[in-house]
Amino acid sequence: MKQLGPYQILERIGSGGMATVYRAEMMTNDGVKKSVALKILHPHLAEEESFVRMFLKECELAVDLRHENIISPFDFGEIGGRYYMAMEYYRGLNMRMILDTLEKQNLNLSLSSGIYILSEVLLGLRYAHRFTDREGRVREVIHRDVSPQNILVTTDGDVRLIDFGIAKIMGETGFTDVGTIKGKLQYMSPEQAGGKDIDRRTDLYALSVVAHEVFTGEMLFPARQPTRVLRQIQLGDFRFSEEFYVLPSRLQRTMRRSLGRNPNKRHEDAKSFRSDLLTVARRDLSEYVPQKTRKELGMLIRSLIEPVEAGDEEIRLPTALVESNVSEGHGVESSVSTDRDPFWPRIFVYGCVALVGLALLFEIFGVDIRPEQAEPTSNARVVGKVNPAPQRMRDRRVVPAEKPARKKVILP
């Protein structure tokens, strides 16, 4: 299939449980070619009336979600028996690809970049959670699938939440049954994993699980077996990584709050969650300028995206002269087992990098005791599927002195 109505299909971007996404081009009324992301319902699902109705319902909802931190469709319908949704195309990488690609090179994001990305996602969630439709009715739109795969960072440093495909409009039954578990298991809230009623705080819980991975480089629920993951989530049975305990104490408290089993003990809304993150940025980071972070983040994505597109195994990041510095960690709470050593020394290395005429600050951070990581996991969105845990999540119980030291580069 090379053409679908006005859309010329160029390449396949990815596929999920309900549809395949392609990069395509269309001709505007001004005669200018425009790149679009074209989402086409799987052929076997297009034959099922219930799925077609679900797909069209998703389109009708998403087309009205207009926010700079959300990617929404501008066209949808049916052509030749194929149901489609057309969206703006943005060049960038999703957070799953970013985290996996950086990990292969022993790299990680800085606190400032992580806070910036999460705070932008929260702006999009706040809009969706308080969405007002064309009739003036307030409708709480829950994403239900907040995960690294659904957070896009563009080459301009913009952050956008994608795929409200399994979103539920509160107050309507529709085709998203309360008892149906959807989304990626590792990022589900306890109430969602149990098939119970959910509200906006489910999205905040999921984003906190994402935050743990962004700030520490480790998944909070790495188990492979779906039943074990579900049990851990519902019981609140998880252990923070060593890296968590060297985060600023305010950030630890913020994440703990939104990871509570009881929704009533979490942040009330996206605004309060974002406020806490920005308080961490103001009080615990020596210099946090969102626009500067955005620019540096865009530079980082551009430096990552070309080798990813070319299929290179290594990221050709610019090199710089470095110098090491040792920094103190924070204390450990009693819930951590004695074989974990949060006081293990961490090394900071700073370097200035010239890239596209601008200086990109690299901060070399930490002695890492993790094993080599496996290949990045699949981005396919399959209902109820557990994404395989990266290899680095295994055998955490190792005495640090017996492991070779490894530097972790903190990018903007």
| Distance of alpha carbon 118 from alpha carbon 130, whole angstroms | 18
151 and 270 part of one domain: yes
Give the pLDDT mean for 304-324.
Answer: 48
Of 29, 53, 88, which residue constitutes the final position of a domain? 88
343 within some domain: no
pLDDT tens for residues 14-29? 887 778 999 999 998 8
134 and 265 part of one domain: yes
> Model pTM?
0.73
Max Cα distance, the chain (Å):
67
The domain in which residue 138 lies consists of: 92-289+371-411
283 within some domain: yes
73 within some domain: yes
Of 58, 88, 118, which residue constitutes the final position of a domain? 88
332 within some domain: no
pLDDT tens for residues 211-256? 999 999 999 998 778 888 889 999 999 999 999 999 999 999 999 9
152 and 178 part of one domain: yes
Q: 350, 363 in Cβ contact below 8 A?
A: yes
The pLDDT value recorded for residue 310 is 52
CATH number at residue 281: 1.10.510.10
156 and 34 part of one domain: no
Question: Binning pLDDT at 50, 70 and 90, where does residue 412 land?
Answer: very low
| Distance of alpha carbon 217 from alpha carbon 410, whole angstroms | 11
Give the pLDDT mean for 168-193.
Answer: 61
CATH number at residue 24: 3.30.200.20
157 and 8 part of one domain: no
223 and 276 part of one domain: yes
253 and 229 part of one domain: yes
Say what the alpha-carbon torsion angle 282, 287, 291, 296 is, to the nearest 10 degrees: -130
Give me the amino acid identity at 395.
D
Of 61, 88, 115, which residue constitutes the final position of a domain? 88
229 within some domain: yes
Nearest CA to 302 out of 319, 316, 320 is that of 316
129 and 155 part of one domain: yes
Q: Is 308 helix (H, G, I), strand (E, B) or coil?
A: helix
Percentage with pLDDT > 70 across the chain: 69
Q: Is 61 helix (H, G, I), strand (E, B) or coil?
A: helix
231 within some domain: yes
330 within some domain: no
pLDDT tens for residues 62-114? 888 999 999 989 999 999 999 999 999 999 999 999 999 988 888 889 999 99
79 and 147 part of one domain: no
Give me the amino acid identity at 27.
M
277 and 394 part of one domain: yes
- Work out how many domains the chain is built from and give that number: 2
259 and 142 part of one domain: yes
233 and 380 part of one domain: yes
Residues designated catalytic: 145
334 within some domain: no
